[in-house]
Amino acid sequence: MKKYKLYGIGNALLDYEYKVNDSVLKELELEKGCMLLNEYDKHSKLHQSLKKMRPPEKIIPGGSVANSVFAMAQYNDKVCFSGKVSDDESGKNFIECLNKSGVETFISKLDNNKSGECLVLITPDNERTMNTFLGSSSLLSIDDIDNQSIKDSEYLLIEGYLVTSDETMNVSIEALAIAQENNTKSVITLSDPNIVKYFRDNLLKLFNNKSHIIFCNEQEALNFSETTNLSQAQNFLKEITDIYIITLGSKGAICYDGTDTYKVEGLDVDSKDFTGAGDMFLGSFMHKYDDGGNFLESLSFANFSASKIIQIYGAKFNNKSDYQNLLENFKY
């Protein structure tokens, strides 16, 4: 058995969550349900506009992979994370939060830049729309990765957001190569429909060698396979990965384990915020999947956990006991 269950590499971002109406998205020219990358000036202007409307509901450390490894740490999995921040208040808060949660961090700090931020806009239908300034996280380099920890991990988790810059793209490819050479299984999350739509060629480069697991939602799967037919998308995914998991929102999730296909139905809950649902799903699945649980049990637990996180605002529960309660209350 290796030292770590999972090593995650991703953008280190501070999330600002705002409740808004659909009219605000139209006014700010934001595509609902997707993530938009912005330079600092435009991002700052947008943030100032939101602040004038109302204060944020929450300010918490985020980022797709960071959210997933955080959840795994609350389940007592030994995990680690690499990202990049600046030596500012946001960067310090991000590192402190992960360290306190039990995640071992390999996070570099820059002196003369700004840490990344993500504005998460939640509409009355609980859909989240994101506007992201990557800041220092986009400057993550190969030198910031702990190669030995990749070798010492059962799994390497890469987020699709990393394919948006040459620097972080190179980090992803190098990390995946190290993983393959050392029997560390690769896990890739496609992250966002627009990432798949506009950076598809870069994403495909991550699959030059077949991955072990892909996580995506339905629209990401369709965009990646360039089809409007989910069955065709599933056939495409089978060609580039051993295992795929496609989340279907309120309809549940579909998984392929290399031999058989499974489906779990969505759970009827009073949802408040879909932010981090996919991240929670991934972290919960990886906990069960590599902890003796069978495939369908892992899928069911991930579905159950995601249904709980969408009943609160934000991508994280407030206490470790909340995560332990998920384990205790889950019935399979």
Q: What is the pLDDT of residue 291?
A: 56
Residue 106 near residue 320 (C-beta atoms within 8 A)? no
Instruction: Write the pLDDT tens digit of every residue in 73-115.
Output: 999 999 999 999 999 988 998 999 899 999 999 999 998 889 9
Distance of CA 18 to the CA centre of its chain: 19
**Paired tokens of 79:** 């995990």
Q: What is the pLDDT of residue 261?
A: 93
Count of helices and strands (H, E) across the chain: 13, 14
Q: Which of 218, 241, 245 is nearest to 303 (CA)?
A: 245
Q: What is the pLDDT of residue 161?
A: 94
Taken in order 111, 112, 118, 119, is the CA torsion positive or negative? positive
* Domain residue extents for the chain: 4-12+64-112+135-329
Q: Give the Cα separation of 95 and 78 in Å (integer).
A: 17
The upper half-sphere exposure of residue 298, i.e. CA atoms within 13 Å in the direction of its Cβ, equals 21
DSSP secondary structure letter of residue 5 = E
Report, as ranges of residue numbers, the positions in the chain whose pLDDT lies below 70: 291-293
Q: Which residues contact 173 (CB under 8 A, 6 or more apart)?
A: 205, 206
Q: How far is CA 283 from CA 113, 117, 124, 323, in A?
A: 30, 22, 26, 11
Instruction: Write the pLDDT tens digit of every residue in 192-205.
Output: 999 999 999 999 99
**Paired tokens of 1:** 């058995």
Residues 4-12+64-112+135-329, CATH architecture: 3-Layer(aba) Sandwich (3.40)
Q: Give the Cα separation of 279 and 69 in Å (integer).
A: 9
DSSP secondary structure letter of residue 145 = S
Q: Which residues contact 303 (CB under 8 A, 6 or more apart)?
A: 252, 253, 264, 266, 267, 281
